[in-house]
């Protein structure tokens, strides 16, 4: 990368980290009124409607072979993770969800090596092992600070990280001829009807506006989540993937835990020793996985 491209990449990395680091607390606010599946469906629907004008314009640039790939990218990178994170946060703090998301770079590297023949070094393997150890610590650390009993809901975020890592490599190596805005907007256009159909057919979310006092504020948080964390941040992130490597782009999760923890602490959440150990191990693992030869 040239110096100007590196500067742009770092800016996009920080911007995505700040936006996505805030998404966990927005999900938490939405879950105070709405069910997790409702939060996920509303998040995707809001993002799709927000970028609908851009999608209609970008459709003319695409060929028929692009649409199945964009649908798959939308499902892996947006639709399924939106539901997984919402369900997971019914049983864990938003700050811990943000820390677990740090596994994305590790899965990005693994999937890139196995499916896309990308090379990695011994130090990267050490990073993988350390990252998984940290994840296991967080899964064992319940909210009261005792190291007993696995929080299986953490596995939902691990699955989301696998999907994110798969989508990163997929965009870089399989949709290289499509622009960032087209990938984001048209992917949302394709998955948006699925989210809207689920929302209006399989949930009773509209009833909650008349039965819950905090429904409108919660709805506002979810709409903000969809517009910023799903639509805008995904566009910025896809641009980052285009101008850098999948592993560098996935390093957005370096800053995300710090932002997520900051919001969580401000909202009254507590962290215990097991959480700190797990966080340090995961971030250390990601650092080693990204470390270049000296």
Domain hosting 123: range is 3-290
CA–CA separation, 140 vs 275, rounded Å? 9
Cα separation of 92 and 142, whole Å? 8
pLDDT tens sequence across 201-257? 999 999 999 999 999 999 999 999 999 999 999 999 999 988 887 877 877 876 777
Per-residue pLDDT of the chain (294 residues; tens, 9 = 90+): 566 787 898 899 889 988 988 998 899 999 999 999 999 999 999 999 999 999 999 999 999 999 999 999 999 999 999 999 999 999 887 777 877 887 888 888 889 888 887 776 777 778 777 877 777 776 666 444 454 455 778 899 999 999 999 999 999 899 999 999 999 999 999 999 999 999 999 999 999 999 999 999 999 999 999 999 999 999 999 999 888 878 778 778 767 777 777 787 788 877 777 777 877 887 787 777 666 654
Tally of structural domains, the chain: 1
What is the pTM (predicted TM-score) of this model?
0.84
User: Please, are residues 236 and 102 in contact by the beta-carbon 8 Å criterion?
Assistant: no
C-alpha–C-alpha distance, residues 87 and 100, integer Å: 14
> What pLDDT does residue 162 have?
95
d(CA 257, CA 87): 19
């Amino acid at each position: 990368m040239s110096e100007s491209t590196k500067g742009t990449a770092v800016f996009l990395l920080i911007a995505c980290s700040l936006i996505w680091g805030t998404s966990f607390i927005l999900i938490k606010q939405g879950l105070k009124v709405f069910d997790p599946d409702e939060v996920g469906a509303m998040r995707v629907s809001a993002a799709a409607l927000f970028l609908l004008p851009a999608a209609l314009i970008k459709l003319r640039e695409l060929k028929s072979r692009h649409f199945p790939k964009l649908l798959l990218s939308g499902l892996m990178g947006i639709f399924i993770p939106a539901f997984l994170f919402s369900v997971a946060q019914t049983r864990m703090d938003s700050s811990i969800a943000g820390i677990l998301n740090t596994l994305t770079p590790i899965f990005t590297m693994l999937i890139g090596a196995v499916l896309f023949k990308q090379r990695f070094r011994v130090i990267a393997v050490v990073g993988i092992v350390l990252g998984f150890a940290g994840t296991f610590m967080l899964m064992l650390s319940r909210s009261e600070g005792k190291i007993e009993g696995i929080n299986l809901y953490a596995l939902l975020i691990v699955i989301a990280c696998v999907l994110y890592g798969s989508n990163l490599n997929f965009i870089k190596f399989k949709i290289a001829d499509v622009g960032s805005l087209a990938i984001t907007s048209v992917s949302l256009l394709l998955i948006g009807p699925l989210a809207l159909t689920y929302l209006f057919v399989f949930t009773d979310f509209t009833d909650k506006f008349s039965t819950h006092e905090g429904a409108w504020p919660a709805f506002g948080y979810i709409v903000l989540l969809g517009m910023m964390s799903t639509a805008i941040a995904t566009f910025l992130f896809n641009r980052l993937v285009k101008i850098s490597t999948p592993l560098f782009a996935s390093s957005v999760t370096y800053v995300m835990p710090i932002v997520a923890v900051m919001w969580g602490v401000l909202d009254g959440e507590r962290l215990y020793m097991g959480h700190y150990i797990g966080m340090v191990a995961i971030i250390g693992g990601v650092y080693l996985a990204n470390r270049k030869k000296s």
